[in-house]
Structure 1
């Protein structure tokens, strides 16, 4: 049995997720909305716009960046903590790392704040497109024009350069740390196998890939940008090269805008540009309708830690909590 608790925020939902068991929504108006025990708590986090958000790795807090130049940490209780401040800058990229580290970027500069409060700075020749931390070790990937730079945050070891012509936006490591993948504005993904620098191209999308997520155990990389969720296989020695992707939740007239893989099962939640949300099982492509179309496209999707609940948000501020077990 499915139940849906709808919320109405009246503005763009930048990110949604669970802080422990509490649904949390980061809104473009600068607030974070929390729902402990079902009751709404609104927290003013940024004066102006909230531009980027992600969960801390321990799942206890939301890390946000705004056009007020602040990087802030919001938990379910206690005051909002300011982690860093860059006056007159827009913080439009944030990333959560191990050991309490937080990455953030503005323009051509990437920064890492360690749990001690110390800041480490990394400059790029062109604007930073995305940040990601490796699954092991304090290593930071900085996406930029013409490739990705990998920095060891706590050592003086030389950076590793991964080159490919063009702009690179979102970047992520595979869960086993063997691959780095970026999204590109020409409706494509690019990847590198770190053991030997082998390039991988994943193309054919009719739209831009704005959402990516690894499946349970990292066997597939799920992506938006087509009229189905495209899942590239990353098992085997060559990753996706020479293998056909899965195509799940195909709709002839709507593009996928968000994907979220179940934390333990080979199941995916898919959000579309008309606001519909489906759950689809990899093995037999069985579909379950989780939400009917709404007023605008799905802008964020996230499961809880056990895969029993799902939160979503939309471009126009519709949002909700879907419980799969009634």
Structure 2
């Protein structure tokens, strides 16, 4: 049976996950908790914490807040100020190769390179989401009526991808062939980047706020329904013409967070009522990891071995679920 070890946290959990063997939980109250052999507690931001993302090398947690600051914090208790935009709410961050960090506020996105240099990317409309391509310093910025692809390390011309509507969270496929955005309406939109072919993924009863690529990048698991909607991205046309898998279906409770297993074709699902489940792609076999009865799950993430799952909820709940090896 899975073992659930709760963590003592206050407030909304912005992000829960692992840096190597150390589990972390970052809350909207501004606290960052690291748990390894002992516990380390940090509060680098003056006020609230708005976004958190593990660095590309997995050694630090990059956070931003309503103080306009971006910090890199580590389980050893250190915090380094990477960038600052006074009087701006920095609610979007992304981590890329070679120590690059992107952040955004309003209509502007910035990229901080590892040597401390910064590049600014201005847009006509507010930035909805940012993501780095898996290879190379290419930054995707989602916005109203589409997305823009920028070269952060060179002066190459940007590429504009167009589709009407407000585009929010964004993600590249692990092979870099696709870009997918969650829209303000209850839908996903995607582009095949080789020819900018549009891909429309609809039918959700709620907004998609969480998505996760499978271990081999063949599937994209998403929240926003009473099951994890898992789109196939193999073949020449990606999900077009293929039906998604529907895993962990419950009659009247929405999935609010998803995290694909790092090694197996399986996904962890967090629900509106605090329940956490694991479901296998092949046959929809299910394992209950945490019983219902809490607040909506906001964040899920596996450790590298796929034996521990960190979770957090909207209010005062977080922990580590340990699976038995084999």
Q: TM-score per shorter chain, which class?
A: over 0.9
CA contact (8 A) 2:268 2:277 kept: yes
Partner of 2:181: 182
CA contact (8 A) 2:93 2:101 kept: yes
CA contact (8 A) 2:41 2:77 kept: no
Partner of 2:85: 86
Partner of 2:254: 255
- In 2: Cα distance, 1:179 partner to 1:191 partner: 7
Partner of 2:19: 19
- Any gaps of 5 or more consecutive residues in structure 1? none
TM-score of the pair, normalised by structure 1: 0.98
* Superimposed CA distance per residue, residues 229-285 of structure 1 (whole angstroms, 9 cap, x where no aligned partner): 000000000000000000000000100000000001001000000000000111111
- In 2: Cα distance, 1:299 partner to 1:214 partner: 17
- In 2: Cα distance, 1:147 partner to 1:45 partner: 34
Count of residue pairs the alignment pairs up: 325
Partner of 1:63: 62
Q: CA RMSD in A?
A: 0.9
CA contact (8 A) 2:3 2:322 kept: yes
- In 1: Cα distance, 2:14 partner to 2:153 partner: 31
Partner of 1:110: 109
Partner of 2:311: 312
- In 2: Cα distance, 1:56 partner to 1:154 partner: 18
2:31 aligned with 1:5: no
- In 1: Cα distance, 2:19 partner to 2:262 partner: 15
* Superimposed CA distance per residue, residues 143-171 of structure 1 (whole angstroms, 9 cap, x where no aligned partner): 11110000011111110000001100001
- In 2: Cα distance, 1:246 partner to 1:273 partner: 20
- In 1: Cα distance, 2:19 partner to 2:113 partner: 21
Is the partner of 1:157 in helix, strand or coil?
Answer: coil
- In 2: Cα distance, 1:112 partner to 1:29 partner: 26
Partner of 1:191: 190
Alpha-carbon offset, residue 79 of structure 1? 2.1
Partner of 1:268: 267
* Superimposed CA distance per residue, residues 166-219 of structure 1 (whole angstroms, 9 cap, x where no aligned partner): 100001111111110000011000000111111000000000000000001100
Is the partner of 2:124 in helix, strand or coil?
Answer: coil
- In 2: Cα distance, 1:26 partner to 1:33 partner: 6
Task: Write out aligned runs for 1:1-326 (5 A).
Answer: 1-37=1-37, 39-325=38-324
